Amino acid sequence: MDNSMKKIWKALGSIRLTIMLLLLTVCDLAGGYLSLKGSEKIFRPLNDLGLIEWVNTYGRTYPGHTVWFFMLFILLFLLSVNTFVCTTDRVFLLIKNRKYFTDSPRFFLKFSAHIMHYALILILTGYLVSYLYAVTCSTMIIALKQDVMIPGTEIKTRLQSLSIDYYQGDRLNFLNDRACKVKADLLLTSGSRETNKTIGLNSPFWFKDFSFHLDDFAPRYRSGMQRKPYISLIVKKDPGMKLYFAGTLLFLTGLIMYLCQWFLLQPKKGERV
Amino acid sequence: MKRVFCCRSLLIICAALFSAWFFGGCIQSDENSPAFVNIGEFSIKKLPENCSEIRDGAGRILVLVPRGQNPPKGYQKNRIIETPVRRVVVYSGFNVSILKALNVLDTLVGVTHKKAYWTIDEVAKGMESGRIAYIGESNAVDFEKLKAIEPDLVLTWDACAISKINELDIPGVITITGEAMDLDTRMRFAQIMALFFNREREADEYVAKVKSAVKRVRDIFSDSGRGLRRKVIWGDIYEKRVLVEPGNSWAAEMVELAGGEYLFNDIFGGS
């Protein structure tokens, strides 16, 4: 690296830059919190439109409400670069000083914090990939005993049965007769392959690279206006999901290593590390 | 020296970010021919060759294509609406009254209320002459009858009906939203409906008329001052349950505009 590159590298990895970026992120998020109040509708389509399409439509139409979000992107990008440079510096330094460590577990566990930092970058990258490249089919409404094709695929979905549990109790009277648990049995057909799956609130499932999530259902009340039973699904093909699961796993590994370092390798009284 | 460098960097980053914020806030879209219009949870996006993409109340994407023109690729058949729509089936009375405002009641071929329900003369007469069919109540629609009248489009509030309507290869649009419509969305909903019938000018006139009526109500109340405020709730009474409009709904806004006190103003949610 020549001198100017070294300077840039050093500036990008500086802890002062980290503090500045974190402070600005806090300010930006505070502004975002105020701006978001009452304008949640603008951000909801981000879930199924994808980032580029959303920027070209809602993002550009309401710049006053969305500019904090763009700034957050810039800040998170700078924070990721800063974290990468700073962590890489530390990792190289650690490798260079390997000879000062008396045993390998102690040396190995010293990487725990750095692994967590790399994991954070991986998680952020996963989210970015998700917002850029995920294919989402939102509001797939399926009535009981009906078949619906998932657009752009050969997957046919049939709602076999829908069971809804309604709240009954004295403690929360106002929730009486309101749906509290839902379970839908689906039959998925792709070519000659048939699979039965069950979906519920917070219980999605995978089928052929697609994740299926329950978005809505009816009837939500046992009494009141009678609705015919149906479910609404969100079907998603998200290449970023693997990245942020991998990042979470890596973060967990780093955290366990850090705990090991903390509990097992505490220096005894009077011992030098 | 380092502290000076640090402060300067901080100032530069702050200045850059806040200028972006400031200039971002100043950007205005072209009001005369916007490529994208958002009305509550609905939206309209202009596509090449006079096509438009609309997002309905449930967030489903449909494409509007001028009659006789090839539709853009990538849309399912039941998501393509040929415009102007010539035959429409409508579930909600409010949507029928919008058709009247747009002067396109002659396109109405099916409803989900019996003749006795209607106070719009054209609809009652249309049902009498057989031009407008009753296809059953909204919770018991006769889909064979619906298919027989061959509509170009079905406007429904019932999400459950959509999968059956789509199975018949008829495009369906969901006209209610998850979150209650506010007054602005309720008024401008006519501009969404107008796209199906190429009646954008009529819709703009209608919205201007309603806006001026709302302003008149506001002015009357502001002139009379804030005296005694009547307490109001707005909802539907069912057996063992009363469903009310939340504080973010157009109904609550209208009550407040007319000098009332809407009792569920603190509740946010759907209609």
- ipTM above 0.85? no
Of the candidates B9, B24, B58, the beta carbon closest to that of A63 is on: B24
Contact (CB<8Å) A177/B43 = no
Tell me which DSSP letter residue A135 carries.
E
Q: Within the 29-58 window of chain A, which residues sit less than 8 Å (CB to CB) from chain B?
A: 31, 41-42, 44-45, 48, 56-58
Of the candidates A151, A223, A229, the beta carbon closest to that of B241 is on: A223
The token pair that represents A119 in the structure block: 């994991």
Taking the C-alpha atoms of residue A50 and residue A48, their distance in angstroms, rounded to an integer, is 6
Per-residue confidence in pLDDT tens, chain A, 273 aa: 678 888 899 999 999 999 999 999 999 999 999 988 878 889 989 988 889 999 999 998 999 899 999 999 999 999 999 999 999 999 999 999 888 887 788 888 889 999 999 999 999 999 999 999 999 888 889 988 888 888 888 899 999 999 999 988 888 887 888 888 999 999 999 988 899 999 999 999 999 889 999 998 988 888 766 778 899 999 999 999 999 999 999 999 999 999 998 887 666 555 554
Predicted local distance difference test score (pLDDT) of residue B29: 47
Q: Within the 171-230 window of chain B, which residues sit less than 8 Å (CB to CB) from chain A?
A: 178-179
Q: How far is A186 from chain B (nearest CA, A)?
A: 15
| Of the options 3.30.1300, 2.40.10, 2.130.10, 2.60.98, the CATH number for the domain spanning A136-237 | 2.60.98
Taking the C-alpha atoms of residue A179 and residue A222, their distance in angstroms, rounded to an integer, is 8
Q: Which residue, chain included where needed, has tokens 């190289």?
A: A92
Find chain B residues with C-beta within 8 A of A20's C-beta. Answer: 6, 9-10, 13
Instruction: Please indicate if any CB of chain B lies within 8 Å of the CB of A122.
Output: no
**Alpha carbon distances (Å) from A256 to A84, A110, A134, A161, A253:** 21, 12, 31, 43, 5
Instruction: Establish, for the pair of chains A and B, how many residue pairs have beta carbons separated by less than 8 Å.
Output: 116
Contact (CB<8Å) B45/A58 = no
Task: Give, for A200, the enclosing helix (H) or strand (E).
Answer: strand A193-200
Taking the C-alpha atoms of residue B237 and residue B60, their distance in angstroms, rounded to an integer, is 30
Taking the C-alpha atoms of residue A235 and residue A200, their distance in angstroms, rounded to an integer, is 14
Identify which of A147, A163, A167 has the alpha carbon closest to the alpha carbon of residue A155.
Answer: A147
Predicted local distance difference test score (pLDDT) of residue B268: 86
Contact A167, A175 (CB under 8 A): yes
Contact A184, A199 (CB under 8 A): yes
Instruction: Please indicate if any CB of chain A lies within 8 Å of the CB of B53.
Output: no
Instruction: Please indicate if any CB of chain A lies within 8 Å of the CB of B240.
Output: yes
Tell me which DSSP letter residue A150 carries.
P
Predicted local distance difference test score (pLDDT) of residue B28: 47
Taking the C-alpha atoms of residue B89 and residue A252, their distance in angstroms, rounded to an integer, is 56
Contact (CB<8Å) A44/B238 = no
Contact B7, B17 (CB under 8 A): no
Contact (CB<8Å) A139/B59 = yes
Minimal-distance CA residue of chain B relative to A32: B21
Q: Which residues contact A267 (CB under 8 A, 6 or more apart)?
A: A273
Identify which of A264, A85, A232, A209 has the alpha carbon closest to the alpha carbon of residue A159.
Answer: A232
Residue ranges per structural domain of chain A: 3-134+248-264, 136-237
Tell me the three state secondary structure of residue A159: strand
Q: Within the 128-157 window of chain B, which residues sit less than 8 Å (CB to CB) from chain A?
A: 139
Q: Which residues of chain B have pLDDT under 70?
A: 1-33, 223-226
Predicted local distance difference test score (pLDDT) of residue A89: 94
Find chain B residues with C-beta within 8 A of A44's C-beta. Answer: 41, 59
Identify which of A147, A172, A165, A166 has the alpha carbon closest to the alpha carbon of residue A157.
Answer: A147
Identify which of A245, A6, A253 has the alpha carbon closest to the alpha carbon of residue A129.
Answer: A245
SS (H, E, C) chain B: CHHHHHHHHHHHHHHHHHHHHHHHHHCCCCCCCCCEEEECCEEEEECCCCCEEEECCCCCEEEEEECCCCCCCCCCHHHEEEECCCCEEECCHHHHHHHHHCCCHHHEEEECCCHHHCCCHHHHHHHHHCCCEECCCCCCCCHHHHHHCCCCEEEECCHHHHHHHHHCCCCEEECCCCCCCCHHHHHHHHHHHHHHHCCHHHHHHHHHHHHHHHHHHHHHHHHHCCCCCCEECCEEEECCEEEECCCCCHHHHHHHHCCCEECCCCCCCCC
Predicted local distance difference test score (pLDDT) of residue B221: 80
Q: Within the 219-258 window of chain A, which residues sit less than 8 Å (CB to CB) from chain B?
A: 221, 223-230, 232
Predicted local distance difference test score (pLDDT) of residue A103: 78
Taking the C-alpha atoms of residue B18 and residue A119, their distance in angstroms, rounded to an integer, is 30
Taking the C-alpha atoms of residue B52 and residue B66, their distance in angstroms, rounded to an integer, is 9
Contact A177, A223 (CB under 8 A): yes
Instruction: Please indicate if any CB of chain A lies within 8 Å of the CB of B43.
Output: yes
The token pair that represents B3 in the structure block: 């502290």
Find chain A residues with C-beta within 8 A of B10's C-beta. Answer: 20
Minimal-distance CA residue of chain B relative to A151: B76
Instruction: Please indicate if any CB of chain A lies within 8 Å of the CB of B19.
Output: no
Tell me, rounded to whole angstroms, the distance of Cα A128 from its chain centroid: 10
Q: Which of B1, B11, B12, B17 to mutate to test the interface with A (most CBs of A within 10 A)?
A: B17
| Geometric angle at alpha carbon B14, from B13 and B19, rounded to 5° | 100
